C-alpha cells in the first residue's frame, strides 16, 4: 500500500510562509531592476514606424516658433556681404568672430551627406556618454539607425557591444578633442565643431592649416596634433546653442562675462537631432543622484559628478528639459532616465 503525503496545510503558518516567499521574490526583482548596470528597456526587433515631420511637430511644443529653415552647419557664402550680422557673441552667435570664422569655413565644408539628405524619413539616435550604457548590450541596436550622433571624446573602440560602432556625426570642442579621429570614428564621420569662444576657431584653423599652435585661452590644453581630413569638419550653427539655452533651459543669451552658463554638448546634440530627424531616440543620458558621490558619470572613465562643478552646466535643469521631451514624445529613451 503506497502512502500519500498529506496535502499542503493552508493554515495561518502556511500563508505566512507563502507571504514571506512572495516578499523575498519582490525584493529580488526590485533589486535587479534598480541596479544601473542591469536594467534596460527592450529594443523591439522591428523598426519603429517613422512618420515624416513627426519630430518637427512635437518639437514645436518645446521651441515654439519652430522652423527647419536654419542650416545645420555654417556656410561660407553666408558670411560674404552679410546684411544681418549675428546679434550675439559665441557661443550663441558669431558676433566679433567673423574674420576667424571666414578663414575656417574656407578650408572646411558644410554639406550633409547625400545618404542622409535623400532619406524620406530619418531615424536618429543621440548616444550620450553616461554610465547607463555600461553592460547595456545596445551596440547592435544603435548601429541600425540612419544617423548616430556621438559626443566629445567618448570612445567606441572596445565598447562596441554597448555603444555600437557606427558614428555619423561627433560633436566636439577643442578641449574634448582628445581622441584619435581615425580610430574612434568611421571614414565618413562628420566631426562637428561646437564653438564656445573665438579661440576655438583659432585652434581648428591652426590644426587644419598647420600653423603655429595656440597654447593659451583654454580651460584644458587641446591637442596640438590632430590627424583629420578637413573635408570631415563642420561648424555647428550657434542657433542651436541659442534655442537650447533659451527654450529648454530658460538661460539668458546675453550673460555677464563672469557668468557662463551654457547647455551641455548632449542637450545641444538632441536639439540638433530634433531639427534634422523625423524620429529621435536617445541612450546613455542622465547623471547619478547628487548624494551618490562614488557613482561614475561616464561609461568609459572613473570620474564622478564632482567633476561637473564649475562647468557652467546645470545638470538638474537639463534633466527636467529631457524629461519634458520624453513626456511629450519628442524623443524616446533606449536606456532609462
Q: In terms of DSSP bridges, do strands 332-333 and 233-235 run parallel, antiparallel, or are they unpaired?
A: unpaired
Please, where are the H alpha helices in 186-307? 198-209, 239-243, 265-276
Query: From CA 204, how far away is CA 193, in angstroms rounded?
Result: 9
pLDDT of the residue at 225 = 93
pLDDT of the residue at 39 = 37
pLDDT in single tens digits along all 337 residues of the chain: 444 544 545 556 666 666 676 665 655 544 444 444 333 444 545 677 898 888 888 999 999 866 678 899 999 998 887 777 899 999 999 999 999 999 999 999 999 999 999 999 999 999 999 999 999 999 999 999 999 999 999 999 999 999 999 999 999 999 999 999 999 999 999 999 999 999 999 999 999 999 999 889 998 999 999 999 999 999 999 999 999 999 999 998 887 666 578 999 999 999 999 999 999 999 999 877 666 667 788 899 878 666 656 556 688 899 999 999 999 999 999 998 7
CA distance to 95, 137, 243, 317, per residue, from 82 (Å): 12, 49, 22, 36
Using an 8 Å Cβ cutoff, are 264 and 154 in contact? no
For the chain, how are helix, strand and coil distributed in percent, rounded to 5?
A: 35, 10, 55
178 CB-near residues (< 8 Å, 6+ apart): 153, 222, 223
pLDDT of the residue at 336 = 83
∠ CA 218-219-222, nearest 5°, is 55
Query: From CA 218, how far away is CA 80, in angstroms rounded?
Result: 29
Question: Which residues share a beta bridge with 234?
Answer: 192
Using an 8 Å Cβ cutoff, are 53 and 278 in contact? yes
Query: From CA 8, how far away is CA 241, in angstroms rounded?
Result: 67
Indicate the CATH number for domain 50-333. Answer: 3.90.1480.20
In our burial notation (b when 16+ CB lie closer than 10 A, e otherwise), range 99-129 reads: ebbeebbeebbbebeeebeeeeebbbbbbbb
Q: In terms of DSSP bridges, do strands 147-151 and 233-235 run parallel, antiparallel, or are they unpaired?
A: unpaired
Please, where are the H alpha helices in 137-219? 139-143, 160-163, 181-184, 198-209
Rounded to the nearest 10°, the torsion over CA 126, 127, 133, 137 is 80
> Cell 593659451 maps to which residue?
216
List the beta strands (DSSP E) in the chain. 123-127, 147-151, 169-172, 190-193, 233-235, 279-283, 332-333
Using an 8 Å Cβ cutoff, are 152 and 129 in contact? yes
In the chain, domain spans: 50-333
Residue 93: other Cβ atoms inside 10 A: 19
Amino acid at each position: 500500500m503506497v502512502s500519500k503525503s498529506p496535502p499542503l496545510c493552508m493554515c495561518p503558518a502556511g500563508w505566512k510562509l507563502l507571504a514571506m516567499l512572495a516578499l523575498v521574490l519582490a525584493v529580488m526583482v526590485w533589486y535587479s531592476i534598480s541596479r544601473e548596470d542591469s536594467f534596460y528597456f527592450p529594443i523591439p526587433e522591428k523598426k519603429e514606424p517613422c512618420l515624416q515631420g513627426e519630430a518637427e511637430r512635437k518639437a514645436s511644443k518645446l521651441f515654439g516658433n519652430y522652423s527647419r529653415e536654419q542650416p545645420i552647419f555654417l556656410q561660407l557664402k553666408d558670411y560674404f556681404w552679410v546684411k544681418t550680422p549675428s546679434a550675439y557673441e559665441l557661443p550663441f552667435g558669431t558676433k566679433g568672430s567673423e574674420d576667424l570664422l571666414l578663414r575656417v569655413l574656407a578650408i572646411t565644408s558644410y554639406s550633409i551627406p547625400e545618404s542622409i539628405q535623400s532619406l524620406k524619413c530619418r531615424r536618429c539616435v543621440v548616444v550620450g556618454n553616461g554610465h547607463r550604457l555600461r553592460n547595456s548590450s545596445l551596440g547592435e541596436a544603435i548601429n541600425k539607425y540612419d544617423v548616430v550622433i556621438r559626443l566629445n571624446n567618448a570612445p567606441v573602440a572596445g565598447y562596441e557591444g554597448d555603444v555600437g560602432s557606427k558614428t555619423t556625426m561627433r560633436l566636439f570642442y577643442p578641449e574634448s578633442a582628445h581622441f584619435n579621429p581615425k580610430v574612434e570614428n568611421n571614414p565618413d564621420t562628420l566631426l562637428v565643431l561646437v564653438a564656445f569662444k573665438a579661440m576655438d576657431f583659432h585652434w581648428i584653423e591652426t590644426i587644419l592649416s598647420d600653423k603655429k599652435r595656440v597654447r593659451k585661452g583654454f580651460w584644458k590644453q587641446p591637442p596640438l596634433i590632430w590627424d583629420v581630413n578637413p573635408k570631415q569638419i563642420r561648424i555647428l550653427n550657434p542657433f542651436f546653442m541659442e534655442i537650447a539655452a533659451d527654450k529648454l533651459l530658460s538661460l539668458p543669451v546675453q550673460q555677464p562675462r563672469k557668468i557662463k552658463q551654457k547647455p551641455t554638448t548632449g542637450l545641444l546634440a538632441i536639439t540638433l537631432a530634433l531639427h534634422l530627424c523625423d524620429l529621435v531616440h536617445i541612450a546613455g543620458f542622465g547623471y547619478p543622484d547628487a548624494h551618490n558621490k562614488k557613482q561614475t558619470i561616464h561609461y568609459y572613465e572613473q570620474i564622478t559628478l564632482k567633476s561637473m562643478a564649475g562647468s557652467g552646466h546645470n545638470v538638474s535643469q537639463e534633466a527636467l528639459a529631457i524629461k519634458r521631451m520624453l513626456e511629450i514624445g519628442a524623443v524616446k529613451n533606449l536606456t532609462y532616465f
